[in-house]
Every structure is written in C-alpha cells, then in structure tokens.
Amino acid sequence: MDQALSPEEITALPAPALQQHLAEGALTAERVSEVFLSRIEALDQAGPAVNAIIEVNPDALEIARGLDRAFAEHGPIGPLHGMPVVLKANIDTADSLATSAGSLALAEHHAAADAPLVARLRAAGAVLLAKTNLSEWANFRASDSISGWSSLGGQTHNPYVLDSNPCGSSSGSAVAVAARLAPLAVGTETDGSIVCPAALNGVVGIKPTLGLVSQQGIIPIAASQDTAGPMARTVAGAASLLTVLLDHAVDYTTDATDLSGLRLGVIRDYYGADKRPRVKAEYHRWLEMLRNAGAELIDPIKVRTNEAISNAEFEVMLYEFKAGLNEYLESSGAAQTSLADLIAYNDAHAETVMPHFGQDVFLAAEAKNGLDDPAYKAALAASGALVRTRLEALFATHRLDALIAPSNAPAWKTDRVHGDRSLLDSAMIAAVSGYPSITVPAGLILELPVAISFIGKPGEEQQLIDIATVFEQVRGEFPAPRFIPTLEPRERQ
C-alpha cells in the first residue's frame, strides 16, 4: 500500500482525488485522518490560529482504523470511505461531540441520536473528524452580532486575511475547508449562512432546495428556510458530499464542458449593487467568461427584493425560531428546555456569554405568539410566497436556466464594537424562496476572495452544478489562503 504522499500533498488534494486514493487503497483512512488532525493542531489553535474547530472528535482515529479493517475485508464501504468530514456544531451526533450551537448554555449537550444526514455520512464511510465553530445560535441571538464568534468557541478568522471576518453562520465549516483542515464540511443556512462564509473564505458552498436534505436533528432557526448543505474546495467535491446528504439516491457527477444553449439571467438589483465598484468590475469580467463559455445572458433581470420583504422574512424567523427551538430543546434532553430558559441563562452568565453583544433577537422571538398568529401568516405571505411567485414568473417569462449574482463583497474587518457590516447581499433571493443556489470562488480583491452565485429552479441542483463546473474550469486554479495578518490600508470596495 502506497503511503508515499507527504502531509502537504495529501491536504492539497481536492476531495474527489482524495476519495479516489482512499477507494483504491493508495492511502489508508488512518493515515489521512492523522494528517488532517495534525494540520488542525498546527494551524487551528497554533500558528495562524484560525479557530475553525470547536471540538475534535477523540474517536476519529479509531473510526478510521475500523474503516481500514473493513477495507481489508471487502473494500470501501461507501462513496466517502475514509474521508474526513467536519460538521457545524448545531448538528446532532450521537457521540462525545456536543451539539452546542456555539453556546455555553449547551456546552454539555449531547444528542441521543445522529441527525439523519449524519447517519448517511457514517454509512457512506466518512470519518467525522470534528465539529466546527459558528456564529452563536447561527447569528440569531442579537442584531449586532459578530459573525464567526461564539461564547463557547471564540472568534473564527478568515484564513486569507486573519483580522477579516469569515462571515457566518457556518464560519468554521468554511474556514476549515479553506485552510485545508478538512476536505469536506457540512454547514447550515437560513439566509446566507452557507453561501456567505463559503464566498468570503474562497470555497464552494451549495444551498440545496428547501426540503431536499433532512433538517431533523439540527438546531432550527426557521423551518420555512432552514437547510443543511455541503462545502468543499471544488464543485465536484461539494457535489459528491451533497449526493450523500440526500434522503434519496442522486448522482451529481457531471462532465459539463460548456454552457451552450443555456440562458442565464443577470441580476443587477442585488443589495449593495451601487456601493462596490470593484465588485461590479469583477462581475463584468465573470459575465464575459460565462458568455465566452457559450451561455446566453439575459441582462438585466430584476428580482425586486426590498426592505419590506426583508422585514417580513425577519418576522417569520422570529416566530419559527421560538416554536422550533422550544420543540428541539424539549425533545432533546437539553438542560434548558425553552427559549425563555436560554434567555435566563444568558442573563445569569452575561459576563462570559454576552461580552460583545446582547440578546435582543432572542427577546423579540420570545415575545411572539404561536404559528397560528395571523401576523405570522401575513409575514410568510409577504416574504417567501411573494419571492417564489416572482421567481417563478421570471424563470418562465425569460425561459431561464439559472440566475447569476455576485455572492459577496470582500470581507470586512472583524469589529467587536459594532458587529458585522457587509454591504452586499444576494443570498436572500434563494433563501427566502427556498430555491437552490451554489457559490463558486471567482477572484481576489485586495487578497480577499469574492465569488459568484448561481440560483436555480427547485430540484435542479444538477443544472447548477453543471454551470458552476464550467465556470470553475474557465476560471482556473484558485489561490490558497496565505494567512496574511492584516491589510493596510483597508480599502474594502
């Protein structure tokens, strides 16, 4: 058995290539897990100290050895045989890893059963290497929260420029993949929590169609928008992980090489479109790449999201968060059994739980009535239902295969006084509607990644993966992070 690859060569392999080495027996699961665990030790808490990992699985090497024994008897047990995977710390695992949502209140909360997506990962042969840090409570505790910070895990850092923000809430999952602490990661999204951190940290993230991946066993925010999804350094890697996460058999392998015959709608009215001239210039370059690859661009397409839709979306989240979280806590055996209990815990431990920001969002959610409240139903109609109707009309009228928008502006400097200050957001379109989207690294501005998003019709993940694959091909190799301490001056446009 050839174990000649160096640790640096192993961690540099894209996920599909690493999968192939493991499936062919050229690398053992134990060797691969050892390499990534050593890299976590060297880069996560030491060296640049990106702080992506909230807890390493103490059983990871034993799991890997068991997979090697199984391989010796009958070959790989599944498509992810021996592949290290890290999970956001709001996903239930029936092991020694806590499902904490990054909160000190749930630091000792251990699930009785795996979330269905975790069971599928284990059955596919994955090694659950660690859980990742996140924006506490998936960025839904306070309006002035700091993405990538949790009271349990501290602050996660962007590996491209360390004092820059990693976005959230799946901060650690994205940073772990970008910094090559793991080849694959699972994040979750309600609005932007996969797409934004993937984009800001230079990795691929897929937000699947609402309901495509089971949400059972995941600490909820809003049932009408929540989904888990994959992150990897390449489209093929993310697609291979998505295949495993699904509740039904789908193979997202693609051999797409051009975009001939596809009609792509160019979104120009995304939030912050007029405030980021460098992003606009990059966007123009990406559109030319897509046109040269054979796509027909329908430009512009106006989705017409606005503040009223955003406000209605937030109202929906408040109602659904209270209802969903109370149900999760009551059924999971957590020490706190309701949102009211968590608010009381935070007040009692304010010095450690709330040193930078409070819990005004928690308080607003607790003040809401149940899901039979007419105000909730009105907000639901004014957000998700309205945007879905608009998107359905746009796709039909213009015969579109997908929509395009920039995913992000360059990351802002992490600010513990004022919180987040992103000035570009195209994630809400897919988030509110439940439509699928994929973000692909597209370039660097001042050493910081910027990305492009493709939004498709419900259930058409394959189409998005094909389009993203071609874009990735014409873009070429994307630069790895260099762990730069800071940028001066910080001209973030």
Number of domains in the chain: 2
Same structural domain, 286 and 273? yes
- Give me the pLDDT at residue 492, please: 44
**Banded model confidence at residue 152, pLDDT cuts 50, 70, 90:** very high
Residue 3 has pLDDT above 70, yes or no: no
88 catalytically annotated: yes
User: pLDDT by residue (tens digit) across 380-433?
Assistant: 999 999 999 999 999 999 999 999 999 999 999 999 888 887 767 789 999 999
Task: Say whether the peptide bond before residue 169 is cis (omega within 30 degrees of 0).
Answer: yes
Q: What is the arrangement of strands in the sheet containing 296-301, beginning at the earlier edge strand?
A: 53-56, 127-132, 84-88, 184-189, 227-232, 204-207, 437-445, 448-455, 402-406, 263-267, 296-301
| pTM score, whole prediction | 0.97
The residue annotated as part of the active site, out of 103, 135, 151, 169, is 169
169 catalytically annotated: yes
Helices (H) and strands (E) in the chain, counts: 18, 13
DSSP 404: E
- CA–centroid distance for 287 within its chain: 24
Radius of gyration of the CA atoms of the chain, in A? 21
- Give me the pLDDT at residue 416, please: 87
Same structural domain, 336 and 446? no
* Long-range contacts at 276-285 (CB < 8 A, ≥ 24 apart): 276/406, 276/409, 276/423, 276/424, 276/493, 277/493, 278/410, 278/445, 278/493, 279/406, 279/409, 279/410, 279/424, 279/445, 279/450, 279/493, 282/406, 282/442, 282/443, 282/445, 282/450, 283/406, 283/452, 285/443
Q: Is 163 within 8 Å of 485 (Cβ atoms)?
A: yes
The residue annotated as part of the active site, out of 88, 207, 322, 457, is 88
Q: Is 79 within 8 Å of 120 (Cβ atoms)?
A: no
User: pLDDT by residue (tens digit) across 38-60?
Assistant: 999 999 999 999 999 999 999 99
Same structural domain, 419 and 395? yes
Same structural domain, 372 and 233? no
- Structural domain of 479: 1-304+385-493
Q: Can you tell me the mean pLDDT for 154-176?
A: 99
Q: Measure the CA–CA gap between 318 and 371, rounded to whole angstroms.
A: 10
Cβ-proximal residues to 37 (8 Å cutoff; 6+ apart), any chain: 56, 60, 61, 129
Same structural domain, 147 and 53? yes
Burial (0-12, 13-18, 19+ Cβ within 10 Å), 260: exposed
The CATH number that applies at residue 63 is 3.90.1300.10
**Banded model confidence at residue 324, pLDDT cuts 50, 70, 90:** very high
Q: Measure the CA–CA gap between 84 and 13, rounded to whole angstroms.
A: 13
Buried b (16+ CB within 10 A) or exposed e, 104-115: bbbeebbbeebb
Cβ-proximal residues to 124 (8 Å cutoff; 6+ apart), any chain: 77, 78, 79, 80, 81, 244
Q: Measure the CA–CA gap between 220 and 328, rounded to whole angstroms.
A: 8
Q: Can you tell me the mean pLDDT for 261-287?
A: 89
User: pLDDT by residue (tens digit) across 28-41?
Assistant: 999 999 999 999 99
Domain end point (choices 378, 404, 437): 378
Q: Can you tell me the mean pLDDT for 301-319?
A: 94
Residue 276 has pLDDT above 70, yes or no: yes
Same structural domain, 2 and 73? yes
Token pair for 19:
């999968």
HSE-up of 428 (CA within 13 Å, CB side)? 23
Q: Is 404 within 8 Å of 282 (Cβ atoms)?
A: no
User: pLDDT by residue (tens digit) across 187-225?
Assistant: 999 999 999 999 999 999 999 999 999 999 999 999 999
User: pLDDT by residue (tens digit) across 78-104?
Assistant: 999 999 999 999 999 999 999 999 999
User: For 129, phi and psi rounded to 5 degrees?
Assistant: -75, -40
- Comparing CA positions, the residue from 173, 220, 213, 222 lying closest to residue 54 is 173
Same structural domain, 367 and 227? no
- Give me the pLDDT at residue 388, please: 96
- Comparing CA positions, the residue from 231, 297, 245 lying closest to residue 267 is 297
- Comparing CA positions, the residue from 260, 306, 68, 82 lying closest to residue 183 is 82
Domain end point (choices 378, 401, 425): 378
Same structural domain, 293 and 316? no
Buried b (16+ CB within 10 A) or exposed e, 361-371: bbebbbebeee
Residues comprising the chain, all counted? 493
Instruction: Determine what percent of the chain is predicted with pLDDT higher than 70.
Output: 97
> What average pLDDT is seen over the chain?
96
**Banded model confidence at residue 489, pLDDT cuts 50, 70, 90:** low
The residue annotated as part of the active site, out of 150, 151, 193, 240, is 193
Same structural domain, 66 and 87? yes
377 catalytically annotated: no
Domain end point (choices 378, 409, 433): 378
Same structural domain, 286 and 398? yes
Same structural domain, 288 and 169? yes
Same structural domain, 365 and 403? no
Q: Is 268 within 8 Å of 301 (Cβ atoms)?
A: yes
User: pLDDT by residue (tens digit) across 429-448?
Assistant: 999 999 999 999 999 999 99
User: pLDDT by residue (tens digit) across 240-258?
Assistant: 999 999 978 899 999 999 9
CA distances from 256 to 19, 321, 472 (A): 21, 40, 11
